Structure 1
Amino acid sequence: MNLSESLFELFDGIRPMARALGESPATVHGWKREGRIPASKQPLVLEVGRKLGLPVTAEHVVFPLGRPDLSAPVLVASERLAVVCNRQAGLQRKGRRR
């Protein structure tokens, strides 16, 4: 897979991809924002890409923004971490509303 090109770049952008797939640009933009193509749409994306003569592979469809960098640290949410807010109402300036 050419890691320099995402699936969206292969289709020349969100709007052309949406047009080719019969989806709204907002839907395809949501896929890009989330970094994933819904499983129910993956076969369609692969089929349409191939019909258009694009070098789309199953890997492009599963990793539309490129394969994740496995050497990068992964942040894992933990139930043991607590979020504490020490905001006190008395610290606000009088006369100003937020």
Structure 2
Amino acid sequence: MERDISVFTLFGGIRPMARAIGENPSTVAAWKRVGRIPAEKQPHVLEVGQALGLPITAEHVVFPLGRPNAAAPVEITAQPIAVACDRTPITQRKDIQ
């Protein structure tokens, strides 16, 4: 699957896709915004797309905006987080005996 061809493009856009699969356009737009189709909806989207003769595969519904490039390096840097607590534990309070 090419990176620039999304499942939304294959259906012709958000509204045509929503109409074809029987969902609200706002729901399909939310899927596009978050970059994923809920797992319980994926089989239906695949079935409808194939029934319409679209060149859609399971990969299209699992990665609706295209598969992330696995070769691209991912930089994860751990940032130390300072934790401050101004409350003295009960066992260390001098006023409690």
Alpha-carbon spacing, 1:33–1:55, altered in 2? closer, same or farther (3 Å): same
Identity %: 66
Equivalent residue of 1:29, what SS? Answer: helix
Q: Which amino acid aligns with 2:68?
A: P
1:67 equivalent in structure 2: 67
Structure 1 unaligned runs (5+)? Answer: 83-98
Matched, 1:24 2:15: no
**TM-score normalized by the length of structure 1:** 0.73
Q: Alignment RMSD, CA only?
A: 2.0
Alpha-carbon spacing, 1:69–1:48, altered in 2? closer, same or farther (3 Å): same
How many residues get paired?
A: 82
Deviates more, 1:2-11 or 1:56-65: 2-11
Structure 2 unaligned runs (5+)? Answer: 83-97
Matched, 1:9 2:5: no
Using the TM superposition, give the Cα deviation of residue 72 of structure 1 relative to its aligned residue in structure 2, in angstroms: 3.1
Q: Which has the larger radius of gyration?
A: 2
1:86 equivalent in structure 2: none
User: What is the alpha-carbon distance in structure 1 between the residues aligned to residue 77 and residue 53 of structure 2?
Assistant: 42
1:91 equivalent in structure 2: none
User: What is the alpha-carbon distance in structure 2 between the residues aligned to residue 16 and residue 67 of structure 1?
Assistant: 23
1:54 equivalent in structure 2: 54
Q: Which amino acid aligns with 1:67?
A: R
1:37 equivalent in structure 2: 37
Using the TM superposition, give the Cα deviation of residue 69 of structure 1 relative to its aligned residue in structure 2, in angstroms: 1.5
User: What is the alpha-carbon distance in structure 1 between the residues aligned to residue 3 and residue 32 of structure 2?
Assistant: 16
User: What is the alpha-carbon distance in structure 2 between the residues aligned to residue 28 and residue 65 of structure 1?
Assistant: 13
**TM-score normalized by the length of structure 2:** 0.74
